[in-house]
Amino acid sequence: MPATLAHSSYLYKSTAPPSLLRKRAAEPKANQNSDQPKFPKGVCSIRKQSKNSNTCEVQNYALKQALREHVESGCMEDALWVFEKMNHLDTYYWNVMIRGLTDNGLFREAIDFYHRMQSEAVRADNFTYPFVIKACGGLSSLAEGQKVHGKLFKVGLDSDVYVGNALCAVYAKLGCIEYAERVFEEMPVKDMVSWNSMIGGYVSVGDGWSSLVCLKEMQVLGMKPDRFSTIGALNACAIECFLQTGKEIHCQVLKCMLELDIMVQTSLIDMYHKCGRVDYSERLFHEISTRNVVVWNAMIHGYTLNARPFESLSCLQKMQHADKLNPDAITMINLLPSCTQVGALLEGKSVHGYAVRRGFLPHIILETALIDLYGACGRMKSAERIFGQLAEKNLISWNSMISAYVQSGQNKDALELFWDLLSKHLEPDAITISSIIPAYSEVASLGERKQMHGYISKLEHNSNTFISNATAYMYAKCGNLETAQEIFDRMISRDVSSWNTIIMAYAIHGFGTKSIDLFSKMRDEGIQPNESTFVSLLTACSVSGMVNEGWKYFNSMKLDSGIDPGIEHYGCMIDLLGRKGNLDQAKIFIEEMPLVPTARIWGSLLTASRNNRNIELAELAAERILALEHDNTGCYVLLSNMYAEAGRWEDVERIKSLMRQRGLEKTVGCSFVETNCRLYRFINQDRSHVETNTIYSVLDLILRKIGEDKYVHSITKFRPLDLKRKRASSAASHSVRLAICFGLISTKLRSPVVVRKNTRICDDCHIAAKKISEMTKREIVVGDSKVFHHFIDGSCSCGDYW
Ligand SMILES: [Zn+2]
Ligand SMILES: [Zn+2]
């Protein structure tokens, strides 16, 4: 089933008559398993009265007719009413009722009906069981399903093909593919539906490979795939990204003349999208004469998947205007990630408004996509409001809220929410753990991190590659490369992300050659690099200033691996150009790149301008950034610092007042240092620490020794007033220095001092840290908002560019 359709069962469920659902909800829990039917008392009494009355056959015939009609039109409440008025009903009418209840999503009621049927000694047959089994699937109740399965052996229906098919489908739906396989293997006769159940079943558990093997086996036996096998097989190709097999199935579609079947067409479009062939999808899409919402949804989803958010957004207008179709909830769900990708808050908000007007809410999947959008756009209040108002919170919605906090840097809130989740009945999954781990690497102490590591091991997530990758990165981000490497070495299976993680870990620490070594090792092990691999690799080249290697890998991306460079890759190249001082080249590079420059790109140019003290270019870059992100505080601060350095105090004031007007506040710079498993936080001019006096006397001593008290700023064009201002903003007691000093006096001799900082380390502190490392003969590691600086013997791993 294509992902675009995956949510349909959710929608379907809610179509049950509301009055019935209410009745079910009002029933006391203890009654759930009793054989007594759960109908209004009045209905039962009518049944009793009519039992002894002499109903004529004609009347009974009319009632039977009415019962069938009610069931067919989905009026289950009326059908129930009629059912209760009839007596001595045979299996057929019980089956009609059970089928009706199941088809209308009243699964619990369907199962209760089956139990009641047994207690009234009505024989269930091979038409009863498939719907009872389907109801078990609808309730996601494996226990009920297995109970029914057990019963089948007793009544000798275990080898019935119709019943077997239903069992296969339900076990697959519940993710128990082994059970489905066993039922399938033991079926003496298999029909088309049996094969299709397995082909679709493997797809539903994400095993495209087995699904295709199943298709082959079926063909070997001389059976021709029908539309359902074809759709299943196409979805299997989409899962495995088997473009070639997908194309072969496309040929079969043409041979079997299934090409006009809209469901098959939709699956083909979905398959080509997932294999990255948007062009094929587009061609097929344009050939369809009458398009429905589902095929539009597949198109929107495909563009989103292929990081073409603008096309995805423009589909919405086209479907409304050209095809006169109304978007449904799935359209909104498929569209929102596109808004999230480009930070299109306005479009996202209008999707939100539309969903409210059309009454799509509450809808947990849609609301979760909205949380993702608001989180990515930094609108935490809106995200929190939606999360708070969710009628039922599932793990996915918790995960979205946690990662929204992490993305917006509200790590403390993320941790609190995570601890809140742990106190609930929900068990965190791999996504929860990998979303929360970055928060741990930012604000948690080593003790808390170890606790987390232990917790992960207990949850048996240890063998999960996804989690191990995140844990390795957590340690690398905390400046602990050694543990990161250990986790990587101990991984049972390493996927491409594991390699990307470890390459990135060395990259941000400035060990570029090590990253490149790891990359060639990865190739030797036969692992194909993906887009993220090149982000890690190009980051390594840019942080370590390896220009030639950088260009080599950038050019080889397309040639050797068939990957088109994305925004991140271009960003790394601009960093590399900026590092070498090639600002003009960087500017031309941006103008000539085939992608629309984002704030990330202009941010690189801004960094380059700052490092090369080019105010004009910095102003240009800042202007572009602020046009895209009005509230980019970092951009204002950086520009203001550049003006201050150049003594342009009027401009500093101008920026400050601009920030005030927009209600923006400078992030409070703070530094963390960890000793004895405790995390100590320092802000600039901090005097709150118990050992403040010692820290300041050590700092004084060190500054005198490294001669910074005599240090005169190289720019001498300050007027006396400016000099006063300069002194006021002196770096002498910046948080990072206080943290370094505390680290020096409270950690073991010769061990490196590891400090983390939430903002960029300033130039003065960078110079000071180099000198301190030389004077004290200690390695000082400072992880700032960009990279890790390893200060050893008076020089820094970043090569003075960050
Ligand atoms: Zn500083
Ligand atoms: Zn550095």
pLDDT tens, 660-714? 998 888 888 899 998 877 888 999 989 998 889 999 999 999 988 887 755 444 4
Q: How far is the CA of 593 from the centre of ligand 2 (A)?
A: 29
What is the token pair recorded at 391? 């009628």
Q: Which ligand is in closest contact with the Cα of 708?
A: 1
Which residue type occupies 43?
Answer: V
Q: How far is the CA of 774 from the centre of ligand 1 (A)?
A: 18
Confidence of residue 618 (pLDDT cuts 50, 70, 90): very high
pLDDT of residue 478: 83
pLDDT of residue 462: 59
pLDDT at 29 over 50: no
pLDDT of residue 717: 44
Q: How far is the CA of 78 from the centre of ligand 1 (A)?
A: 76
Greater model confidence, 70 or 618: 618
Q: Which ligand is in closest contact with the Cα of 740?
A: 1
pLDDT of residue 466: 80
Q: Which residues on neighbouring strands pair with residue 564, listed in sequence order? A: none
C-alpha 580/C-alpha 577 separation (Å) is 5
Q: How far is the CA of 357 from the centre of ligand 2 (A)?
A: 53
Q: Is 384 helix (H, G, I), strand (E, B) or coil?
A: helix
pLDDT of residue 714: 43
pLDDT of residue 779: 93
Q: How far is the CA of 790 from the centre of ligand 2 (A)?
A: 7
- For residues 409, 415, 420, 423, the Cα torsion angle rounded to the nearest 10 degrees is 150
Greater model confidence, 272 or 709: 272
pLDDT in tens, 283-308: 999 988 888 999 999 999 999 988 88
Q: How far is the CA of 799 from the centre of ligand 2 (A)?
A: 6
Confidence of residue 55 (pLDDT cuts 50, 70, 90): low
Burial class (CB in 10 A: 0-12, 13-18, 19+), 375: buried
Half-sphere exposure of 223 (CA within 13 A, CB side): 18
pLDDT of residue 40: 38
Q: Which ligand is in closest contact with the Cα of 736?
A: 1
Greater model confidence, 13 or 49: 49
pLDDT of residue 718: 45
Residues 517, 546 contacting (CB under 8 angstroms): no
Non-local CB neighbours of 356 within 8 Å, separated by 6+ positions:
none
Q: How far is the CA of 767 from the centre of ligand 1 (A)?
A: 9
Q: How far is the CA of 796 from the centre of ligand 2 (A)?
A: 5
C-alpha 758/C-alpha 653 separation (Å) is 24
Q: How far is the CA of 783 from the centre of ligand 2 (A)?
A: 9
Verify cis geometry, omega within 30 degrees of 0, for the bond prior to 362: yes
Q: Which ligand is in closest contact with the Cα of 762?
A: 1
What is the token pair recorded at 103? 């088809």
Q: Locate tokens 């979303």: which residue?
A: 435
Report the pLDDT averaged over residues 202-212: 91
> Taken in order 166, 169, 173, 174, is the CA torsion positive or negative?
positive
Burial class (CB in 10 A: 0-12, 13-18, 19+), 440: buried
Q: Which residues on neighbouring strands pair with residue 753, listed in sequence order? A: 780
Q: How far is the CA of 448 from the centre of ligand 1 (A)?
A: 28
C-alpha 802/C-alpha 737 separation (Å) is 18
Q: How far is the CA of 732 from the centre of ligand 1 (A)?
A: 8
> Taken in order 607, 608, 611, 614, is the CA torsion positive or negative?
negative
Q: Which ligand is in closest contact with the Cα of 768?
A: 1
Q: Is 286 helix (H, G, I), strand (E, B) or coil?
A: helix
Q: Which ligand is in closest contact with the Cα of 788?
A: 2
Q: How far is the CA of 719 from the centre of ligand 1 (A)?
A: 22
Task: Supply the DSSP string of 420-484, one letter for each residue.
Answer: HHHTSSPPP-HHHHHHHHHHHHHH--HHHHHHHHHHHHHTT-TT-HHHHHHHHHHHHHTT-HHHH
Neighbour order of strands in the sheet with 670-675: 678-683, 670-675, 753-757, 780-783, 788-792, 795-796
Q: Which ligand is in closest contact with the Cα of 782?
A: 2
DSSP, res 402: H
Q: How far is the CA of 186 from the centre of ligand 2 (A)?
A: 67
Non-local CB neighbours of 291 within 8 Å, separated by 6+ positions:
285, 319, 323, 325
Burial class (CB in 10 A: 0-12, 13-18, 19+), 304: buried
Q: Which ligand is in closest contact with the Cα of 790?
A: 2
What is the token pair recorded at 586? 């960087």
pLDDT of residue 725: 55
Greater model confidence, 50 or 183: 183
Which residue type occupies 125?
Answer: D
Residues 525, 507 contacting (CB under 8 angstroms): no
What is the token pair recorded at 387? 């999360």
Q: How far is the CA of 580 from the centre of ligand 2 (A)?
A: 15
C-alpha 266/C-alpha 447 separation (Å) is 51
C-alpha 645/C-alpha 679 separation (Å) is 33
Q: How far is the CA of 762 from the centre of ligand 1 (A)?
A: 4
Which residue type occupies 38?
Answer: K
Report the pLDDT averaged over residues 242-258: 90
3-state percent breakdown (helix, strand, coil) of the chain, nearest 5: 70, 5, 30
pLDDT of residue 372: 93
pLDDT in tens, 477-525: 888 898 899 999 988 889 999 999 999 999 999 999 999 999 999 999 9
Q: How far is the CA of 548 from the centre of ligand 2 (A)?
A: 21
Greater model confidence, 785 or 618: 618
Q: How far is the CA of 713 from the centre of ligand 1 (A)?
A: 14
pLDDT in tens, 428-475: 888 888 888 888 877 777 777 778 878 777 776 656 788 888 888 888
Report the pLDDT averaged over residues 532-547: 93
Task: Supply the DSSP string of 307-319, one letter for each residue.
Answer: T-HHHHHHHHHHH
Question: In terms of Cα–Cα distance, which of 670, 668, 610 is closest to 643?
Answer: 610
Helix residue ranges per DSSP H, 562-632 = 567-579, 583-592, 599-611, 615-628
Q: How far is the CA of 735 from the centre of ligand 1 (A)?
A: 7
pLDDT at 716 over 50: no
DSSP, res 613: T
Residue-averaged pLDDT of the chain: 84
Burial class (CB in 10 A: 0-12, 13-18, 19+), 77: middle
Q: Which ligand is in closest contact with the Cα of 802?
A: 2
pLDDT in tens, 740-782: 999 999 988 888 899 999 888 988 899 999 999 999 999 999 9
Q: How far is the CA of 791 from the centre of ligand 1 (A)?
A: 15
Residues 494, 524 contacting (CB under 8 angstroms): no
Q: How far is the CA of 764 from the centre of ligand 2 (A)?
A: 11
C-alpha 252/C-alpha 231 separation (Å) is 12
Q: How far is the CA of 802 from the centre of ligand 2 (A)?
A: 7
Pairing, β 753-757 against β 670-675: antiparallel
C-alpha 157/C-alpha 148 separation (Å) is 11
pLDDT of residue 724: 54
pLDDT at 737 over 50: yes
Confidence of residue 557 (pLDDT cuts 50, 70, 90): very high
C-alpha 32/C-alpha 176 separation (Å) is 25
Q: Is the pTM of this model over 0.75?
A: no
Half-sphere exposure of 289 (CA within 13 A, CB side): 3
Half-sphere exposure of 522 (CA within 13 A, CB side): 26
Task: Find the helix packing angle between 364-376 and 345-357, rounded to 10°.
Answer: 160
Confidence of residue 729 (pLDDT cuts 50, 70, 90): low
Q: Which ligand is in closest contact with the Cα of 684?
A: 1
CB crowding 696-731: b at 16 or more within 10 Å, else e: bebbeebbeebebeeeeeeeeeeeeeeeeebeeeeb
Q: How far is the CA of 786 from the centre of ligand 2 (A)?
A: 10
Q: How far is the CA of 782 from the centre of ligand 2 (A)?
A: 8
Q: Which residues on neighbouring strands pair with residue 674, listed in sequence order? A: 679
Percent of the chain with pLDDT over 70: 90
Q: Which ligand is in closest contact with the Cα of 760?
A: 1
**What is the distance, to the nearest Å, from the Cα of residue 451 to the centroid of all Cα atoms in its chain?**
25
Report the pLDDT averaged over residues 175-191: 88
pLDDT of residue 451: 80
pLDDT of residue 785: 83
Which residue type occupies 251?
Answer: C
C-alpha 409/C-alpha 438 separation (Å) is 10
Report the pLDDT averaged over residues 546-567: 92
Q: How far is the CA of 795 from the centre of ligand 2 (A)?
A: 8
Q: How far is the CA of 669 from the centre of ligand 1 (A)?
A: 9
C-alpha 729/C-alpha 731 separation (Å) is 6
Q: How far is the CA of 785 from the centre of ligand 1 (A)?
A: 13
Q: How far is the CA of 734 from the centre of ligand 1 (A)?
A: 5
Q: How far is the CA of 655 from the centre of ligand 1 (A)?
A: 20
Q: How far is the CA of 523 from the centre of ligand 1 (A)?
A: 41
Report the pLDDT averaged over residues 52-63: 66
Q: How far is the CA of 761 from the centre of ligand 2 (A)?
A: 8
Q: Locate tokens 């809220």: which residue?
A: 401
**What is the distance, to the nearest Å, from the Cα of residue 394 to the centroid of all Cα atoms in its chain?**
14
Task: Supply the DSSP string of 348-367, one letter for each residue.
Answer: HHHHHHHHHHTT--S-HHHH
Choice among 158-162, 271-275, 528-532 with the minimum mean pLDDT:
158-162
Q: Is 205 helix (H, G, I), strand (E, B) or coil?
A: coil
pLDDT of residue 460: 65
Q: How far is the CA of 761 from the centre of ligand 1 (A)?
A: 6
Choice among 119-128, 195-204, 283-292, 295-304 with the minimum mean pLDDT:
119-128
pLDDT in tens, 39-53: 433 333 334 444 445
Residues in the chain: 802
Confidence of residue 342 (pLDDT cuts 50, 70, 90): confident
